[in-house]
Structure 1
Amino acid sequence: MSWNVTCGAGGTLAGRKAFILKVSGFKHQGAVVIFPNSLDGYFDIELIDESGEVVESVEYISACKLSEIIDQLVEVTENYSDDIVRWLRKCTPNENQIQKIGRMAKVCPEVAAEIKLKTLFSKR
């Protein structure tokens, strides 16, 4: 799960409270908008492309499935392992740490799934 999030912000969109992520995944480049649903503990998602068009909407996603569903919409392709290998090959030397994380995730996804995001983004 690496959506290449470049920024995120909370606000209001179309009259609804929202959290907006700018992403550049394998499948979707643009905004992922997460709206609280009227049903407690559920969310709605809209994918918005670079031109501002809503390209996909999914409703009634439980909080525990939110990241998994976003991952499927934004990142996971039919040939995901091959796409990761191609991406790793084209990374610049400055992205070496990201390459290492990507390789680990490819080789051992069950361990990669347990890594906490704060560990990945902590300053060394």
Structure 2
Amino acid sequence: MQTIFKGKHFITLQDWTEGEIDTLLEVSFDLKKKFAMGTITPYLPYKTIFLMFFEQSTRTRNSMEAGIAQLGGHGNFLDTSTMQISHGEVAKDTAVILSRFGHAIACRNCVWETGNKYLREME
């Protein structure tokens, strides 16, 4: 079965089918194996991924930036001090602007309802 992820948002597993989750895990395991073997995986050449963080996190930020770099992309870190969302800007407005300059947005917000609200607004 072919799974198409282009344009698919990952907000919660409840939005995905069992087949999509299986494919996601298979690809993840394959990438992890290739990394361990030293295989170059340039799947994101010249791609910019915006990382919107609403809480500080050493492990999550660094693992995301490392993963993006290992795939040939660039992670651009944004936190509440550099985003206007914390000053009342609507998440969709921020997403529209960022989408002009990048290829994807990853959001880390530990408050379930708030994080999901931002992500749903950006769809």
Say yes or no: TM over 0.5: no
**Given the two structures, how large is their TM-score scaled by the length of structure 1?**
0.29
Structure with higher strand content: 1
**Given the two structures, how large is their TM-score scaled by the length of structure 2?**
0.29
Structure with higher helix content: 2
Higher relative contact order (CA 8 A, sep 6+): 2
